Amino acid sequence: MQAPTMDPAEEPPSMLWGLDPIFSAFARLYVRDILQMTESTQVPGIYFYNSHPIYKVDVLGTVVYQREREDFFCYGVDDGTGVINCLCWKNDVFKEEENPSKSGGNPSDGAQGGFNPVTELKKLRQAQQIRCRLEIGDLLRVRGPVKTSRQQREIMASTFYKVNDPLMAVQIAWMMEVPQLYRQCYDRPFQLQPKATGESAVSSLGKATNIIKDFFKQKSVSRFRPYDVQDLLQPLILRLPQTASADQEPVAGPSACQQLRQLLKEALKILQDEGIVYRKVKSQDELYHVTAQDKDLVIAVKDIIKEDCKREKYAEKGCHILHILSAVRQRYSLNVSRAALELVLKSLESSSDVVSTSDSHYTVF
């Protein structure tokens, strides 16, 4: 069954999606509504519920089936309205579980009653393994973007864990909170304010992203911080009048500096969604990497495809893009998006370093 798509005439412009606060949040929707959401015609991977643009959700439900693969777990989550497949990627903890010798420590180190960091760290890892490995009947909370794979909706988990809820306190709180969110947010159509729908709002954001893109090309920028490009957007900001007439009250509103920071924030968000930039490490130091100029990322992707295609499993058809994405996140950076990876693969394919054997599989010559 093919996923329904939204009528382009009814779909708000993608430049304005960031004005809807639900777009930046993990939407706590019922599984039934996640499965029935219409997909955007402008940007694949974006869905609409009652005209609200949504791409990441927050679900709490019971595991009704589970499968384990080399790189991920597959959990079927039932919240009482439907069942959705959740793809939960493994992390380094499970690799260490398969190679216990690497995380070893001498058990006698803490025999004298002192604090043993190695032993305590091992206990924490074991606790994390227990919370991530679920069985049928366990309560699972999962957050992540919604994807359509083989014409089936699923959640690509960015966070997931087992919920210990013997008294059902968490489930009761969830069942009381979600209907309120529907009444107050989700069931109210997304309506833009007249000022926000004006041509200037769209054109300013579009001009901002184009200015930053041109800066990347002209200067061959590989890394930057927001303050490096903030001044480039200054001409797009209209300063508020400093005085008001005698018969008018001063109108409260954001200052020019606040407008500039907000415009820059929205422009960087669009560039991240498109995969043009990404943050290798999320920290207080907001350092962004330009995907096309990040030679280390290109080399990492190329090496992963080259190495894994030697394995019998991938020798004939090549590596699936999701396998490459998982390997890149494990070996290089957890914050590489699929959009960024697709740009790197396109660059490698144009330079004949890799070749696509299908829409989603890649191999080397």
DSSP labels for 139-184? EEEEEEEEEEETTEEEEEESEEEE---TT-HHHHHHHHHHHHHIII
**Domain of residue 349, CATH code:** 1.10.10.10
Same domain, 141 and 87: yes
Same domain, 218 and 318: no
Which H or E element spans position 294?
none
Same domain, 259 and 351: no
Same domain, 139 and 106: yes
Same domain, 23 and 144: yes
CB 290 within 8 A of CB 216: yes
Encode pLDDT of 156-202 as tens digits: 999 998 899 999 999 999 999 999 999 999 998 876 554 444 445 55
> Cα–Cα distance between 53 and 273 in angstroms, integer?
14
Same domain, 168 and 66: yes
Is this model's pTM higher than 0.85 or not?
Answer: no
Domain containing residue 227 = 199-239+255-290
Same domain, 33 and 173: yes
pLDDT category at 97 given cuts 50, 70, 90 is low
Q: Kindly state whether residue 139 falls inside one of the protein's structural domains.
A: yes
Quickly tell me which residue has 């924030």 as its tokens. Answer: 265
Residue 254 Cα to chain centre, angstroms: 29
pLDDT for 1: 46
Same domain, 118 and 52: yes
